[in-house]
Amino acid sequence: MTYPVIRLRPKADARAVRHGFPWVYADELVTDRRTQGLTPGTIAVLEDAERRAMGVVTINPKSKIIARMLDRDAGAVIDRDWIAARLARALTLRETLFDAPFYRLVHAEADGLPGVIIDRFGEAAVIQPNAAWAEAMIVDLSAALADVTGVTAIVKNATGRARGLEGLDEETGILAGKIDGPLPVPMNGATYLADLMGGQKTGLFYDQRPNHAFAARLAGDARVLDVFSHVGGFSLAALAGGATSALAVDGSTPALELAEGGARAMGMGDRFATRKGDAFAVMEALRGEGAQFDLVICDPPAFAPAKPALEAGLRAYERVARLAAPLVAPGGFLVLCSCSHAADLTQFRNASARGIGRGGRRSQLIHTGFAGPDHPQLPQLAESGYLKALFFRLDG
């Protein structure tokens, strides 16, 4: 197969691409009329300024990330068989790591499928095709997924900021099989209900699995507060770990209803309660009520999804810590999380520590957690290591 050829500008950092960086930005590429006329999702051969082939890439002239590396073999053919080989490699890793088929199967660039997220829920899977090439090849991607894994139901989730940056629509639907309702997902001894069609992202956040587990170790006989709870990720794990009670706070009624369903499925509905509302307002109200908890977890959405939002995001993380710290009983634990790749670990840790201090508490940092191994990082791409979880013990 003959692909069109595109070329780096002379001043572009070809060494970074050769050493594993997977993206080419628009100002690094020769964007003549021919290149600008390529259809988003077109497969092409990338050359350096000296016309030496660097690999096969996907092109999207509408995106700031104009090219994404698919294969460093310039002779590779990107077809269903190529996709299946990448999926098989990803599946081998997950089957090594997990006893049951509930995990992130594909973590985009880190699994060699740029812009593609696939979460597996037993016999069902959700694909997020967040790059134009994956949208263009969604039929091949879905068929290869079914062939490699044997899943019988496949959902395309087309929501999220990443698709907007690629100039893609937000049409979600079923690609194969059928989904009759929320699916039960066993994890860390808890049972979660994942809404694959109407839930946030793919329906469940697998990335927090090891942090849920660590929090559960702290939860024995504890009163637990789970803020920004979504479907009860931390609170249900805490109940499985022996918590005496858990209160989940979120702004979404459907998410809280799924959390309640999970608690009932575990036979722990009597120890689980929910409170709908703005997380900041609820934390202020709880303090006014004199409420205290042995374990408080705050897992907010990304306050700093990109560099322009960094300063405001760090102030928001500081505010979360300031409001949460007074709710922790003496000797109790506070867990603060960030999924903002624009805020690195040091920045997030400093903002959290300032907030705890402003909340009138002293702290020990006892553990730092990251995403689970089904969310591998591409070492050359900082964005693939976005999740941070800080576990503090509070005194006084």
Which CATH superfamily does the domain covering 190-395 fall into?
Vaccinia Virus protein VP39 (3.40.50.150)
pLDDT band at 199 (very low <50, low <70, confident <90, very high): confident
- Give the residue extent of every domain in the chain: 5-71, 80-176, 190-395
Q: Looking at residue 160, what is its pLDDT?
A: 82
Class of domain 5-71: mainly beta
What single letter denotes the amino acid at residue 63? S
| 347 within 8 A of 386, measured Cβ to Cβ | no
Q: Looking at residue 131, what is its pLDDT?
A: 95
Say yes or no to pLDDT of 186 above 80: yes
Please state, in angstroms and rounded to a whole number, the distance separating the CA atoms of residues 304 and 301.
9
Q: What are phi and psi of 194, to 5 degrees?
A: -105, 120
Please state, in angstroms and rounded to a whole number, the distance separating the CA atoms of residues 141 and 290.
53
Q: Looking at residue 383, what is its pLDDT?
A: 85
Please state, in angstroms and rounded to a whole number, the distance separating the CA atoms of residues 17 and 24.
8
Please state, in angstroms and rounded to a whole number, the distance separating the CA atoms of residues 377 and 286.
38
150-179 pLDDT tens trace: 999 999 998 888 888 888 888 889 999 999
H/E run at residue 184: strand 183-187
Q: Looking at residue 165, what is its pLDDT?
A: 84
What single letter denotes the amino acid at residue 222? A
Please state, in angstroms and rounded to a whole number, the distance separating the CA atoms of residues 167 and 72.
26
337-360 pLDDT tens trace: 999 999 999 999 999 999 999 999
Q: Quick check: is 337 catalytic?
A: no
Please state, in angstroms and rounded to a whole number, the distance separating the CA atoms of residues 207 and 110.
14
> For domain 80-176, which CATH number applies: 1.10.10.10, 3.40.190.10, 3.30.530.20, 3.30.750.80?
3.30.750.80
CA 80 to mean position of chain CA atoms: 26
Give me the catalytic one of 43, 218, 320, 339.
339
